[in-house]
Amino acid sequence: MPGREQPLVVYDGDCDFCRRWVERWRLTTGERVAYAPYQEVAEQFPEVPRESFRTAVVLITPEGEVYSGAEAVFVLLSHVPGCRWPMWAYRTLPGVAPVSEGVYRFVARHRHGFSGLTRLLWGADPAPSTFGLARWFFLRLLAVVYLIAFVSLWTQIHGLVGAKGILPAAELLEAVAGQVGSARYWQLPTICWLDSGDAFLGGLCAIGVAGSLLLLIGFAPKLVLALLWAVYLSLVNVGGAFLSFQWDALLLETSFLAIFLAPATILPRTPSREQVPGAGRWLVWSLLFKLMFLSGVTKLLSGDPTWRQLTALGVHYETQPLPTWIGFYAHHLPQWFGRVSVAGMFIFEIGVPFLIMAPRRIRHAAAAALILFQALIAATGNYGFFNLLSVILCVMLLDDQLLARLTPARWVAGKKPAATARSANRLVRRLGWAGAAAVVSVSGLAFLREMTRTQRPDRLPGPVVGFLQRCDQFLLSWGDPYVLEFCDPFRTLNGYGLFRVMTSRRSEIVVEGSDDLLRWEEYELPWKPGDVTRRPRFVQPHQPRLDWQMWFAALDPHRNRYWLNGLMRRILEGSESVLSLFSENPFPDHPPRYVRLSYYQYHFTDLAQKRRSGAWWRRERVGVLVTPLSLPPTEAAEIQE
Tens digit of each residue's pLDDT (9 = 90 or more) over 251-273: 999 999 999 999 989 998 888 88
Query: What is the gyration radius of the CA atoms in the chain, in angstroms?
Result: 30
Region 295-309 average pLDDT: 93
Q: Report the distance separating Cα 270 and Cα 425, nearest Å.
A: 22
pLDDT confidence of 410, banded at 50, 70, 90?
Answer: confident
- How many other CB atoms are there within 10 angstroms of residue 616's CB atom? 20
| Confidence band, pLDDT 50/70/90 cuts, at residue 636 | very low
Say if residue 444's pLDDT is above 60: yes
Cβ atoms of 329 and 316 within 8 Å: the answer is no
Task: Band the pLDDT of 28: cuts 50, 70, 90.
Answer: confident
**Where are the domains positioned within the chain?**
8-122, 132-490, 506-640
- The amino acid that residue 120 corresponds to is L
pLDDT in tens, 102-155: 999 999 988 888 888 888 888 877 778 889 999 999 999 999 999 999 999 999
Candidate ranges 115-129, 315-329, 468-482; pick with highest mean pLDDT: 315-329
Rounded to the nearest integer, the mean pLDDT of the chain is 90
- Count CA atoms within 13 Å of residue 1 on its CB side: 18
Least confident of 4-13, 415-424, 549-558: 415-424
Bridge partner residues of 254 (DSSP) = none
> What pLDDT is recorded for position 449?
92
Three-state SS letters, 44-102: HCCCCCHHHHHHCCEEECCCCCEEEHHHHHHHHHCCCCCCCHHHHHHHHCCCHHHHHHH
Calpha distance 306→283 (Å, rounded): 33
d(C-alpha 205, C-alpha 162), whole Å: 13
pLDDT tens string 335-390: 999 999 999 999 999 999 999 999 989 999 999 999 999 999 999 999 999 999 99
Q: What integer pLDDT is reported at residue 638 of this predicted model?
A: 43
Cβ–Cβ < 8 Å for 574, 155: no
Q: Residues 619, 600: contact at Cβ < 8 Å?
A: yes
Give CA–CA dist 60/487, Å, rounded. Answer: 50
In the predicted structure, residue 332 carries a pLDDT above the cut 60: yes
Please state, in angstroms and rounded to a whole number, the distance separating the CA atoms of residues 257 and 492.
9
The model's pTM? 0.90
Question: Is 536 buried (19+), middle (13-18) or exposed (0-12) by CB count in 10 A?
Answer: buried
**Cα 347–Cα 350–Cα 356 angle in degrees, nearest 5:** 100
Q: How confident is the model at residue 422 (pLDDT cuts 50, 70, 90)?
A: very low
Report whether pLDDT(19) > 90: no
Q: What is the largest CA-CA distance in the chain?
A: 107
DSSP bridge pairs for 507: 601
Buried b (16+ CB within 10 A) or exposed e, 27-64: bbbeeebbbbbbeeebeebeebeeebbeebbbbbeeee
* Length of the chain measured in residues: 641
Residue 419 — very low, low, confident or very high, per pLDDT cuts 50/70/90?
Answer: very low
3-class secondary structure, 583: coil
Beta carbons of 212 and 228 less than 8 angstroms apart: yes
Note the pLDDT of residue 421. 42
Indicate whether 524 pLDDT > 50: yes
The pLDDT of residue 631:
86
Count helices and strands in the chain by DSSP H and E runs: 31, 8
Confidence of residue 231 (pLDDT cuts 50, 70, 90): very high
% of the chain exceeding 90 in pLDDT: 69
CA–CA distance, 209 with 143 (Å, rounded to integer): 9
Can you give the pLDDT at residue 425? 67
Query: Side chain identity at 58, as an amino acid letter?
Result: V
- pLDDT at residue number 52: 87
Tens digits of residue pLDDT in 563-572: 999 999 999 9
**CB–CB of 376/235 below 8 Å?**
no
Cα 628 to chain centroid, rounded: 43
Strand partners, 522: 512
What residue type is 588 in one-letter code?
P
